[in-house]
């Protein structure tokens, strides 16, 4: 087996992993603050991808602009969803919020299907490619990974260096104690859901930099499954763990897919996903709380 193509695929895995990580931070943040599992996660990734697609094709706006638009819309949508739906499930059995988020995700998919159909769409934003280990890396993919890293650092600084971030961490530790200390817990909940969905939709925009031609209403379903694996791998509720888990999952997926393809496997992508789940099981046996959660 040639070493250079393997190293190239490992690098591509880190690039993809950075985008996976930023797409999962929102899921992990919402669970960490409210203990609500957003099983409709992939539908919000889909919305972010469509924002990038429509702004580019209709108005010629590059995805860098779409990042700000997607985050802002996700923030507003998340806060509205909290006050309209999520707050009604506070204190209810977890299955209630789980089913509600599942239904919301399906509803968003069907609305998108009615408006835009089920055909795959895409756009072309070519910034060139750089030679690397005998092959070429797309500049847009590298840009997506760098922006994912910047967004991960930004959310980390927000949580640990701002007053709102401190309030969020206080609510995570003890909602009743935070309320007694004067923190508006419902406002923190709504802000957390807003930031979580904002980051998720921002992740959808970044995914189009890596794969700009795979946009349809059901594109989010495989990302939901991967996001849960990544979030559990990193430690549910830990945004930093979600990003690191994304890097590991992307590395395993890309590297193992290449190795199995060189071995003549008929379905290397499926085997790579299987190995990712095996890695998760092994990790949970050794560290049930995940990599970064204490």
Residue with tokens 């599992």: 37
Cα–Cα dist 211/222, whole Å: 14
Torsion, Cα 201 41 237 35, to 10 degrees, reads 130
What pLDDT is recorded for position 105? 94
Alpha helices, H only, 162-264 = 163-173, 175-180, 185-210, 220-234, 239-262
Residue with tokens 């994304």: 246
Q: From the first residue on, what is the mean pLDDT of each consecutive set of 10 residues in the chain (294 residues)?
A: 80 89 90 89 95 94 93 96 90 85 94 92 86 83 91 91 92 89 92 94 91 85 88 82 89 83 77 78 79 66
Rg of the chain (C-alpha set)? 19
Cα–Cα dist 166/95, whole Å: 29
Q: Quickly count: other Cβ atoms within 10 Å of residue 287's Cβ.
A: 13
Question: What are the tokens at 255?
Answer: 């590297």
Q: At what angle do helices 41-59 and 220-234 cross, to 10 degrees?
A: 130
Cα–Cα dist 125/139, whole Å: 10
What pLDDT is recorded for position 167? 93
**Residue 13, helix vs strand vs coil:** helix
Cα–Cα dist 14/271, whole Å: 19
What pLDDT is recorded for position 23? 87
What pLDDT is recorded for position 294? 55
* 271 close to 247: Cβ distance less than 8 angstroms: no
**Residue 277, helix vs strand vs coil:** helix
DSSP codes of every residue in 111-160: HHHHHH-SS-B-------EEEETTEEEEHHHHHHHHHHHHHHHHHHHHHH
Residue in 276, 264, 198 with CA at minimum distance from that of residue 233: 276
Alpha helices, H only, 60-125 = 63-84, 94-116
**Residue 27, helix vs strand vs coil:** helix
What pLDDT is recorded for position 293? 62
Residue with tokens 């193992």: 256
């Amino acid at each position: 087996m040639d070493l250079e193509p393997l190293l190239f695929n490992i690098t591509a895995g880190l690039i993809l992993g950075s985008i996976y990580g930023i797409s999962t931070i929102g899921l992990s943040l919402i669970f960490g603050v409210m203990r609500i599992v957003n099983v409709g996660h992939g539908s919000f990734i889909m919305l972010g991808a469509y924002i990038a697609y429509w702004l580019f094709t209709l108005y010629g706006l590059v995805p860098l602009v779409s990042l700000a638009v997607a985050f802002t819309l996700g923030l507003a949508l998340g806060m509205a969803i909290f006050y309209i739906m999520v707050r009604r499930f506070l204190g209810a059995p977890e299955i209630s919020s789980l089913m509600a988020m599942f239904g919301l995700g399906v509803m968003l998919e069907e609305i998108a299907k009615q408006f835009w159909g089920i055909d795959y769409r895409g756009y072309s934003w070519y910034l060139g490619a750089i030679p690397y280990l005998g092959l070429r890396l797309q500049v847009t993919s590298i840009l997506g990974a760098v922006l994912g890293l910047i967004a991960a650092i930004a959310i980390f600084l927000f949580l640990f260096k701002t007053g709102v971030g401190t309030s969020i961490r206080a609510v995570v530790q003890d909602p009743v104690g935070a309320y007694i200390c004067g923190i508006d817990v419902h406002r923190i909940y709504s802000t957390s859901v807003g930031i979580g969905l904002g980051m998720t939709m921002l992740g959808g925009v970044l995914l189009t930099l890596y794969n700009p031609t795979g946009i349809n209403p059901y594109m989010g379903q495989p990302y939901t499954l991967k996001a849960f694996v990544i979030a559990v791998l990193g430690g549910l509720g830990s945004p930093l763990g979600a990003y690191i888990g994304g890097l590991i999952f992307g590395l395993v997926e890309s590297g193992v897919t290449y190795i199995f393809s060189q071995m003549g496997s008929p379905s290397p992508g499926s085997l790579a996903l299987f190995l990712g789940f095996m890695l998760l099981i092994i990790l949970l046996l050794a560290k049930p709380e995940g990599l970064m959660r204490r």
